[in-house]
Structure 1
Amino acid sequence: MSPSAYAGVDVGGGGVRVRIEAGEESAYGEDAAPVPRERGRVDLHRLADRIAASVEEMGVDRLDTMAIGVTGLPGLVREPGTLWDALRPRFGLGALVVAGDMVTTHVGALGFAPGVVVAAGTGVITLGTDLDGVWNQADGWGHLLGDHGSGTWVGQQGLHAALRAHDGRAGGSPALLERMTARFGPPLDLVAFVYESASPAHCLASFAPSVAEAARAGDPVSRRIWTEAGRQLAQTAVAAASGLEPVFSWGGRLFDAEDLLMEPFQSAVSALLPGARFAAPRGTSADGALALARAAAADGPLPPRHPYLYVFAETPAAITPTGGPGAQPPPRTR
């Protein structure tokens, strides 16, 4: 008899990441293309095809349960049951969990323990929760309205400084101008690349590694950008800590910048909230999704009903109170 197979899927601004576990065997796959969108919302039909293709490329054609952490849930995701309808027959799923990626990042970082987790990649969203009655979201408003301190924000600030240097305006960085030109070409090429892109946020975020490189090479403007990013993330984290023990963790690829971001982030959190404690993340958002998939298969400790998580099951009676096909999320709580 084949061992049970579970899949955890992380859908963020940087693409789709899949972790599969079957008995002692595990596999990981990644599709780095931007998340498909239609009029700003996540295109769930195309996303389902992307997820299915990633799983099938890993040689898997049957799964017991799957959990998907999706960027933009609930605001930019309509009818999450679309994923169940598309993926259930394709893989013979018995159950599917669809959650906001901040939930899967939280579970990946802290397990099912309470605390605050900052999820920072292309965008940023922070969740402070005890996975019961406290659900505090901070930021997650997209690059036009928020995402302060995110990869998009860092890349955008870096490009601002590069273009200031090009124009001869105060606050410019020749080091970033040099890297901008190497990455995108002359400024007019950059303008076309960003404004004609299907995902301007993704384009802007792609410059964040260059800002880190310049900061490590001693560019003061770049270092200030990272320091301010850490301060912005700290403000978001503390805002989400209401009603919780002050335990903070993090997830997302922006934290690959390590000390450039971590030192100002932790210093600012401690200054704003004396007594704050920091817990290194146990795993990633994909790991958190995998934990939710295993919990759903075992009728385990899934969080109660709230706006950020749905569970779909093959037998309608088995659909948990967290949601179901066509269900609308309740208002966000703080």
Structure 2
Amino acid sequence: MSGGFAGVDVGGGGIRVRVESGGESAYGEDAAPVPRDGGRVDLERLAARIAAVVEDAVRPSVPAVPERFAGMAVGVTGLPGLVRDPETLWRALGERFGLGALVVAGDMVTTHVGALGFQPGVVVAAGTGVITLGTDLDGVWNQSDGWGHLLGDHGGGAWVGMHGLQAALRAHDGRAGGSPPLLERLTARFGHPLDLVALVYESASPAHHLASFAPSVADAARAGDPVARDIWAEAGRQLGQTAVAAATGLDPVFSWGGRLFDAADLLTEPFQSTVRALLPGARFAPPRGSSADGALALARAAAGGEVRPHHPYLYVFAASRSRTGAEAAPPPPRTR
């Protein structure tokens, strides 16, 4: 079997893949944190995990793992900024899967394509972190936020979880602004607050643990806790401000992606009302698909030679091109 396509979404919550081959579709997931090396994404370890998820996803769904994938696309968190050498994924995955073409892009690019197809607009990608991309996939590339849980990612999963845990700890201490319902959920999930402190500060991925509390903050908000509801309302406002900041030079069409938006009305109403208040002509387009869907669409387009690189957001490697397979970069796009 040959000619399959694979879309890979690598975010703070793990790896998700979508594979199409021989008329069959397969899905796979690895929920472990993204491997790091000195703060950067460890691409060699990541490649091994991607390969395992793709192969495990395909085996139950199709007779055999495809001998050759015509195209694969990987949307990876931390690109640009925390990905040192995207060609590492080409070297590790190209021969293993007989790739005709590989796209390595920021997960904000695959989320954008998943949400809007290949149409221009602004897409907020909110999961463990937050990064927003306003682009026409040509000359306009506006990034907003995406600075990590210590410097930014305002309104993202780690931000929501952190504020929820802070409110729980205030209740534990008897300080003003605390939330007893969130304290109950903290102890149910993590045990004593001292156990939480050890877990977060000793972790190689503290953002992952902070974000894991976001669903508990949503539960408390829906149960009527005003502190939890205020956290979600502020998260929506932060995402709305981030979205508007990325709209320069574009038709004001907005969409979204990422698992944080599973919070639905807790997040989407304050998000959209903030955007409308700042940009009255804004229009909203519900996402067509996920980041993995966007990666799959990029894989198909790359196999047909329809994707060109836009550094530092999108790299294209192909077996038919230069010795390394890397396509030469065009003039730098306008970024902000």
TM-score above 0.5:
yes
- Opposite residue 230 of structure 1, the aligned amino acid is G
Structure 2 Cα separation of the partners of residues 145 and 332 of structure 1: 24
1:13 corresponds in structure 2 to 12
Output aligned runs, 1:316-331, within 5 Å: 316-317=321-322, 319-322=326-329
Residues 79-98 of structure 1 correspond to what in structure 2 (within 5 A)? 79-98=85-104
Match status 1:299 vs 2:305: yes
Question: Does residue 213 of the first structure (1) align with residue 215 of the second (2)?
Answer: no
C-alpha contact 2:79 2:313 (8 A) present in aligned 1: yes
Q: Is the 8 A contact 1:122 1:152 kept in 2?
A: yes
Tell me the equivalent position of 1:30. Answer: 29
Q: What is the one-letter code of the residue matched to 1:118?
A: V
Opposite residue 189 of structure 1, the aligned amino acid is D
Aligned to 1:314: 319
Q: Secondary structure at the match of 1:148?
A: coil
Residues in 2 aligned to 1:120 and 1:85: alpha-carbon distance in whole angstroms: 30
* Offset at residue 142 of structure 1 (A): 0.2
Amino acid at match of 1:19: R
> Aligned partners of 1:277, 1:61: CA distance in 2, in Å?
41
Deviation track 1:71-93 (CA, whole Å, cap 9, x = no partner) reads 01120001100000011111111
Aligned mates of 1:322, 1:197 — CA distance in 2: 37
Q: Residue 232 of structure 1 aligns with which residue?
A: 238
1:142 corresponding residue in structure 2? 148
- Aligned residue type for 1:126: T
Note if contact 1:118-1:249 (Cα within 8 Å) is conserved in structure 2.
yes
The equivalent of 1:41 in structure 2 is: 40
Q: Provide, for residues 185-204 of structure 1, a one-character-per-residue CA deviation record: whole Å limited to 9, x for no partner.
A: 01111101111111100000
The answer for the alignment partner of 2:114 in structure 1 is 108
- Match in the other structure for 1:283: 289
Indicate if the aligned counterparts of 1:123 and 1:143 stay in contact, CA closer than 8 A.
yes
1:155 matches 2:161: yes
CA contact (8 A) 1:55 1:61 kept: no
CA distance in structure 2 between the partners assigned to 1:304 and 1:159 by the alignment: 41
Q: Is the 8 A contact 2:179 2:227 kept in 1?
A: yes
1:95–1:313 CA contact under 8 A, matched in 2:
yes
TM-score of the pair, normalised by structure 1: 0.95
Q: CA deviation at 1:94?
A: 1.3
How far did residue 332 of structure 1 move? 6.9
Partner of 2:124: 118
For residues 164-211 of structure 1, what are the alpha-carbon distances to aligned partners after superposition, in whole Å with 9 as ceiling and x for unaligned? 000000000000000000000011111011111111000000000000
CA distance in 2, matches of 1:295, 1:282: 17
Deviation at 1:316, TM superposition (A): 2.3
Task: Output the CA distance in 2 between the equivalents of 1:31 and 1:104.
Answer: 18
Deviations 1:232-283 (A, max 9, x none): 0000000000011110000000000000000000011100110110000000
Tell me the SS of whatever aligns to 1:316: coil
TM-score (norm 2): 0.94
Give the residue type in structure 1 aligned to 2:145: D
% of aligned pairs identical?
A: 79
1:164/1:199 CA distance change after superposition, 3 Å? same
CA RMSD of aligned residues (A): 1.5
- Measure how far apart 1:304 and its partner are: 4.9
The whole-number CA distance in structure 2 between the counterparts of 1:321 and 1:108 is 25
**Aligned equivalents of 1:194, 1:11: Cα separation in 2:** 22
C-alpha distance in structure 1 between counterparts of 2:332 and 2:281, whole Å: 33
1:104-150 CA-to-partner distances (Å, cap 9, x unmatched) read 00000000000000000000000000111110000000000000000
SS in structure 2 of the partner of residue 117 of structure 1: strand
Alpha-carbon distance, 1:330 to partner: 5.1
- 8 Å Cα contact 2:2-2:66 kept in structure 1: no
CA–CA separation in structure 2 for the residues paired with 1:269 and 1:113? 20
2:195 alignment counterpart: 189
How many pairs does the alignment contain?
327
Farther off after superposition, 214-223 or 16-25: 16-25
Give the Å deviation of 1:306.
3.0
Structure 2 counterpart SS, 1:34: coil
Q: 1:330 to 1:45 in 2, by over 3 A?
A: farther
Helix, strand or coil at the partner of 1:54: helix
- Measure, in 2, the Cα distance between the counterparts of 1:97 and 1:152: 28
- Secondary structure in 2 aligned to 1:245? coil
**CA separation of 1:133 and 1:332: change in aligned 2, threshold 3 A:** closer
Corresponding position of 1:129: 135
